[in-house]
């Protein structure tokens, strides 16, 4: 049956259209088409556009945490060489926009809410002049009348229920804990994280009449246009953002941030283009952080190792009034059984930069803790941690009763165990020593919600038989160019050399944007729908049904007819159409998530407590694999994040004045090559019709969701030290290590 192509995704589309095509490019591990440009320095990033007459702006950051700017010594700054303007406009932002806000974040930078908040912009002819004047700029402040604490655990901190999520409650958890044959009740801490994208935030703003053009580094252009327009009080159709290449975002570029609005205001005041590039320290201090969390996990199991109760409560933080609250328990809702449950997030109101989405908000920190607690439970029960997980996969989502669209968790655990060699694991700690290293293994489940968001894409089958895909979808290093081209190539029977993909310009139809792992499936579905429409039109030209049409290598045929070059079929005409998709009833009717399993082997130095990951295996099922290479890279990158989250990454705030102590990459430790061992990634093919007409689910964040838990579990298995505070730095391990000479002398 041919389903009508509907904008709203209301019914699972199980036609598996892509499987019936002939080109054979979908799923192939193809290189990214823009890859060569990037590695040869020819891809133009935001700050690199050469624009005539452009001058340079540098942000000035507050040297207090809370208060009011009372005076800025503009004259002294303007008297310096090359300085053109000091911008301190009420329209400047003091917070960053949250993902998909589509409206201005908090403005009026004269009110200081956290240490390092931008308060002004100095513009000069050269970057060096601007930076020097920015450092010298004198700003006077009045202290805040009612300051909020810097520390989420301060006694006087205000704790609120977030407006963005409701607790999940079922049965009687306390009773279940009392009835349990085995239980754990543990508290874990995770620190704040920075996105630490390679490319710092940068904007070049240029006005043409009353229209604004921005070359910037953003993830979601359609929303960003509205955010900037709202900040400036102009109509969104007067704003165009150009961002064909983005050097990573990881959530920090979902919404607009300070440099964009400041650059636009400065360019308007000066009547010339202005570039504002944030320094690494400024990005760390002002853009976006992942909230630290304190999580209490309660697990109650019966004698057979089946969960009868599950509690997951988290305290996160944000600025007063900010809606976002790290959704720590998001995957806990559907992952394991236990009808007696309490899942809840609360927000402490503190003075630190905006907390928002950092890669896999919720699951990144929620899963690592849940999975570590599951390991503690498995040990108590005395069963294999894989077995514990397999025993506790519910038939439908607890409390809600929603069915699962698809779930490859058992397969991932089993296949991973095989590939990794799990059977060699010792079930007690301190059993394996390799020289000075205790060696251990750990496992964790992976889970990340799947989301679709509204998306559009225009596809043109050009008269010469080549195709053009156009959407404002961004490619933040993930492979959007590659997979959108592959979908079109597969659907239109074209080799990749004949498909052009144009992205990252807000003048193009609005794609999904890059965030929440939804870019590929949402924008990809829009491309698929557009291609289906074009196939229909081709079928009409050829006088056959769309289902009979065979497109391959630039030719069209049907039935016994000989293949004809598309160029001939098209007769000089372009076929163009815009595909559109919006989430519909399938979003609520099914619990949709991508799943997987992580396996880690670590060494813990018997003397110094240093932890080094020796190898990792990740197995993932996320529906159809659109490109096995870019999907693998996403999983691999996620697991590297897991290593950082487990072992090294931590934003250190000074709780006396609220300033961020480690605001650069020398002291905020992301994993380096030597920290990343051989990582094996296994992709499980699956079709999930409820998720999208591509039968694909999101994969961009899955690789991080639980990875740190597997590493923490391996640390315990190696040396018997259970650290309930991430990251597992050696200072937390050393005090509990056994005698290092036990095995060596």
Interacting residue ranges for other proteins, rule: CB under 8 A: 63, 81, 115, 128, 131-132, 135, 436, 605-610, 612, 647-648, 652, 654, 656, 659, 661-663, 666-667, 669, 671-675, 729-731, 734-735, 740-741, 744-745
Residue 8 to residue 278: CA distance in whole angstroms: 40
Listing DSSP states for 29-77 in one string gives: -PPPTTHHHHHTT-S--GGG---TT-EEEEEEE-SSSSEEEEEE-HHHH
3 versus 661: smaller Cβ distance to other proteins: 661
Report the nearest approach of other proteins to the CB of residue 73 (Å): 17
Report the nearest approach of other proteins to the CB of residue 435 (Å): 9
Residues 6+ apart with CB under 8 A from 720: 429, 430, 736, 738
Listing DSSP states for 487-522 in one string gives: HHHHHHT--GGGEEEE-SBTTSPP---S-TT-HHHH
Q: How many CB atoms lie within 10 A of CB 166?
A: 11
Residues 6+ apart with CB under 8 A from 284: 194, 196, 651, 660, 662, 663, 664, 668
Report the nearest approach of other proteins to the CB of residue 150 (Å): 12
Residue 525 φ then ψ, to 5°: -65, -35
106 versus 743: smaller Cβ distance to other proteins: 743
Bridge partners (DSSP) listed for residue 603? 439, 612
419 versus 730: smaller Cβ distance to other proteins: 730
Report the nearest approach of other proteins to the CB of residue 483 (Å): 33
Two tokens, residue 308: 């009868």
84 versus 134: smaller Cβ distance to other proteins: 134
Residue 173 φ then ψ, to 5°: -65, -40
Residue 507 to residue 295: CA distance in whole angstroms: 44
Report the nearest approach of other proteins to the CB of residue 654 (Å): 5
Tell me 616's DSSP state: E
Q: How many CB atoms lie within 10 A of CB 654?
A: 13
94 versus 253: smaller Cβ distance to other proteins: 94
Tell me 632's DSSP state: H
SS3 state of residue 588:
helix
**Catalytic-residue membership of 701:** yes
133 versus 484: smaller Cβ distance to other proteins: 133
Catalytic residue among 322, 333, 649, 701: 701
Report the nearest approach of other proteins to the CB of residue 713 (Å): 20
HSE, CB side, 13 Å, CA atoms: give it for residue 185: 9
Two tokens, residue 326: 């790290």
Torsion, Cα 714 716 719 723, to 10 degrees, reads: 120
Residues 6+ apart with CB under 8 A from 288: 96, 195, 251, 252, 257, 353, 354, 355, 356, 357, 358
Report the nearest approach of other proteins to the CB of residue 77 (Å): 15
**Matching residue, tokens 């404002």:** 472
Report the nearest approach of other proteins to the CB of residue 295 (Å): 23
Angle at 366 between CA 363 and CA 370, to 5 degrees: 120
Report the nearest approach of other proteins to the CB of residue 740 (Å): 7
68 versus 729: smaller Cβ distance to other proteins: 729
Q: How many CB atoms lie within 10 A of CB 22?
A: 11
562 versus 666: smaller Cβ distance to other proteins: 666
Report the nearest approach of other proteins to the CB of residue 674 (Å): 4
Residue 387 to residue 389: CA distance in whole angstroms: 5
14 versus 654: smaller Cβ distance to other proteins: 654
Burial of 49 (0-12, 13-18, 19+ CB in 10 A): middle
298 versus 663: smaller Cβ distance to other proteins: 663
Residues 6+ apart with CB under 8 A from 209: none
Bridge partners (DSSP) listed for residue 299? 184, 310
174 versus 610: smaller Cβ distance to other proteins: 610
Report the nearest approach of other proteins to the CB of residue 605 (Å): 8
**Residue 355 CA: distances (Å) to CA of 150, 228, 326, 346, 347:** 13, 20, 8, 14, 11
Active site residues: 701
């Amino acid at each position: 049956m041919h389903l009508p192509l509907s904008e709203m995704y209301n019914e699972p589309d199980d036609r598996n259209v892509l499987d019936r095509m002939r080109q054979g490019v979908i799923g192939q591990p193809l290189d990214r088409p823009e890859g060569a440009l990037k590695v040869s320095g020819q891809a133009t990033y935001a700050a690199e556009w050469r624009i005539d007459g452009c001058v340079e702006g540098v942000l000035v950051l507050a040297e207090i945490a809370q208060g009011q700017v009372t005076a800025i010594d503009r004259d002294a700054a303007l008297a310096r060489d090359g300085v053109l303007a000091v911008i301190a406009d009420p329209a400047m932002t003091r917070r960053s926009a949250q993902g998909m806000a589509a409206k201005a974040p908090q403005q009026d930078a004269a009110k200081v809410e956290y240490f390092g908040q931008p308060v002004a912009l100095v513009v000069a002819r050269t970057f060096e002049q601007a930076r020097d004047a920015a450092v010298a700029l004198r700003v006077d402040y009045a202290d805040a009348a009612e300051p909020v604490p810097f520390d989420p655990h301060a006694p006087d901190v205000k704790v609120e229920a977030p407006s963005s999520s409701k607790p999940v409650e079922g049965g009687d958890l306390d009773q279940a804990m009392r009835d349990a044959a085995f239980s754990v009740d543990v508290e874990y801490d995770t620190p704040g994280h920075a996105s630490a994208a390679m490319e710092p935030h940068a904007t070049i703003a240029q006005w043409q009449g009353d229209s604004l053009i921005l070359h910037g580094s953003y993830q979601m252009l359609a929303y960003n246009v509205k955010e900037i327009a709202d900040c400036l009080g102009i109509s969104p159709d007067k704003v165009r953002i150009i961002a064909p290449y983005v050097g990573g975002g990881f959530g920090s570029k979902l919404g607009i941030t300070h440099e964009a609005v400041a650059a636009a205001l400065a360019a308007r005041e000066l009547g010339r283009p202005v570039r504002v590039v944030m320094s690494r320290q400024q990005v760390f201090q002002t853009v976006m952080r992942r909230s630290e969390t304190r999580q209490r996990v309660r697990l109650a199991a019966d004698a057979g190792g089946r969960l009868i109760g599950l509690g997951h409560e988290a305290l996160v933080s944000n600025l007063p009034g900010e809606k976002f609250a790290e959704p720590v328990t998001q995957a806990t809702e559907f992952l394991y059984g236990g009808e007696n449950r309490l899942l809840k997030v609360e927000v402490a109101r503190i003075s630190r930069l905006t907390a928002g989405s950092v890669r896999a908000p919720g699951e990144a920190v929620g899963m690592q803790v849940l999975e570590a607690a599951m390991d503690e439970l498995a040990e108590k029960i005395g069963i294999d941690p894989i077995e514990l997980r397999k025993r506790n996969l519910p038939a439908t989502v607890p409390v809600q009763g929603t069915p699962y669209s698809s779930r490859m968790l058992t397969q991932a655990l089993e296949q991973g165990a095989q590939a990794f060699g799990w059977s060699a694991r010792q079930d007690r700690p301190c059993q394996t020593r390799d020289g000075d290293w205790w060696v251990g293994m750990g496992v964790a489940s992976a889970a990340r919600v799947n989301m679709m968001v509204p998306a559009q894409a225009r596809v043109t089958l050009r008269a010469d038989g080549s195709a053009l895909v156009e959407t404002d979808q961004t490619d933040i290093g993930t492979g959007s160019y590659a997979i959108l081209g592959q979908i079109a190539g597969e659907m239109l029977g074209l080799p990749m050399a004949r498909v052009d993909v144009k992205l990252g310009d807000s003048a193009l139809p609005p794609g999904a944007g890059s965030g929440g792992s939804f870019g590929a499936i949402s924008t990809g579905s829009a491309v698929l729908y557009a291609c289906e429409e074009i196939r229909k039109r081709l079928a009409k030209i050829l006088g056959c049904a769309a289902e009979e049409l065979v497109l391959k290598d630039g030719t069209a045929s049907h039935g016994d007819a000989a293949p004809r070059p598309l160029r001939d079929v098209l007769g000089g005409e372009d076929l163009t159409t815009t595909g559109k998709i919006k989430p519909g009833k399938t979003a609520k009717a099914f619990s949709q998530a991508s799943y997987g399993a992580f396996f880690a082997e670590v060494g813990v130095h018997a003397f110094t407590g240093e932890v080094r990951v020796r190898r990792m295996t990740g197995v993932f099922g996320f529906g159809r694999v659109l490109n096995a290479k870019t999907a693998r890279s996403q999983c691999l990158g996620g697991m590297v994040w897991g290593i950082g989250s487990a072992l090294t990454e931590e934003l250190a705030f000074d709780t006396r004045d609220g300033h961020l102590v480690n605001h650069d990459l020398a002291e905020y430790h992301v994993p380096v090559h030597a920290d990343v061992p051989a990582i094996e990634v296994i992709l499980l093919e699956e079709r999930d019709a409820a998720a999208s007409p591509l039968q694909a689910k999101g994969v961009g964040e899955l690789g991080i969701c639980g990875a740190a838990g597997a590493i923490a579990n391996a640390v315990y298995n190696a040396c018997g030290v259970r650290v309930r505070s991430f990251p597992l730095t050696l200072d937390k391990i050393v005090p509990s290590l056994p005698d290092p000479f036990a095995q060596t002398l």
